[in-house]
Amino acid sequence: MRRLLPRTLPELVAHAIAFEREAASRFHEYAEHLHELGCHHAAEAFRRMELIERAHLQSLEECFAGGALPELQPTDYVRHLLATRDALELAFPASPRSAREALALALAAERRAEMYYRDAAANAADPKVRGLAADLAAGEHRHVRVVERLLAYAVAGGPREERRAAAQAV
């Protein structure tokens, strides 16, 4: 199978910006929805994760301020990423039914971004792309660990443990 990896730093940064923008948007939506459901501690955890994603987004945009980034097409994504907004909406609904479902969806998204960066770090031809991709993969891995911890607490202990995890994990 042919791998579709970023060939240049601008291509990698364009993907990273898209991932961070989508994650921040979803985390904002999840926070609002969970607040409406009365899951205030989980909503607060998602608000914090949104702020982290927005900070990463800002850093990436500042790195290439004034530089031309390529416009991404659905065919630019590797096999393990969803290419269309419709497919994304099916896999990551804007209105999860519970805090646990929102966390499971967030975990899947963070893992998918980590896999993309790991694939680029291992297989891209340009050593600069591999280096930045490895750094981005490490960042996504930290996000995965945070969400795994939140989800484990939520599953194991219910609302009380979910509150404790939300306070400590982000």
- 88, part of any domain: yes
- 4, part of any domain: no
* Whole-number pLDDT of residue 132: 94
How many domains in the chain?
A: 1
Summarize pLDDT for 104-130 with one digit per residue, the tens.
Answer: 889 988 998 999 999 999 999 999 999
Token pair, residue 159, equals 């609302």
- Higher-confidence residue: 10 or 156? 10
Helix segments in the chain, DSSP class H: 9-37, 40-63, 85-91, 99-123, 127-169
- 1, part of any domain: no
Q: Is the pLDDT of residue 72 over 80?
A: no
Token pair, residue 156, equals 């194991």
Q: What is the CATH number of the domain that holds 87?
A: 1.20.1260.10
pTM: 0.78
* Whole-number pLDDT of residue 84: 44
